[in-house]
Amino acid sequence: MALALEAHPRDVAPTLLGARLTHAGVTVRLTEVEAYGGADDPGSHAHRSRTRRNATMFGPPGRLYVYFSYGMHHCANVVCGTEPGAVLLRAGEVVAGHELARERRPGVRDRDLARGPACLCRALALDLGHDGLDLAGLLEPGEPPAEVSTGPRVGLRLAADRPWRFWATGDPTVSRYVRSPRA
């Protein structure tokens, strides 16, 4: 069974919880995600218009949108919807390839190997060279969590209070919530 990625990101996001993403010898079970719409979402990279940076968000669904954040780290999103939109992969649990993930994230506890968007990308060895990557065969459905929580998105100045962040309730790999001081 394949994941349905044609709906609005806020509808797709909770269905990605429990899904498994495999890349470069590591598999992560997704435990936290965050939805970003297009023109209707001022928190989205696609809000104003298409640029070279956000072009992948404009489709087709099922691609990986990777961007470089704050000049320090990479973040990965699953492109979905019929309009520009994506779901940020915020956190997960490494379920295969622990040794490789530990090499990429030395000195951290196993629960923290993919805890946070940048850590997840590093554990999976994802960078700007993977922007536009077709996720067919790499992103597979998994066991959904018993309970899903939702709340505001992390670190946004605009549209920060939209409850478009979803996580597996009580999962220790979920990142901590940080509200933007500019919100």
What is the pTM for the complete model shown? 0.95
What would the pLDDT profile of 73-111 be if each residue is shown by its tens digit? 999 999 998 889 999 999 999 999 999 999 999 999 999
What would the pLDDT profile of 157-170 be if each residue is shown by its tens digit? 888 889 999 999 99
The DSSP annotation for the chain comes to -----SS-HHHHHHHHTT-EEEETTEEEEEEEEEEE-STT-TTSTTSS---TTTGGGGS-TTBEEEEEETTTEEEEEEE-SSSS-EEEEEEEEEEE-HHHHHHHSTTS-GGGTTBSHHHHHHHHT--GGGTT-B-TTTEE--PPPS-EEEEPPSS-SSSTTS--EEEETT-TTSPPP---TT-
| The pLDDT of residue 21 is above 90 | yes
* pLDDT-based confidence at residue 2 (cuts at 50, 70, 90): confident
Single-letter amino acid code for the residue at 20: R
Q: Phi then psi for 129, rounded to 5 degrees?
A: -65, -15
* pLDDT-based confidence at residue 72 (cuts at 50, 70, 90): confident
Complete domains list, the chain, with CATH? 9-168 (3.10.300.10)
Tokens representing 139 are 């992103």
Give the Å distances, CA to CA, from 21 to 41, 43, 53, 134.
26, 25, 23, 12
Tokens representing 169 are 């309730």
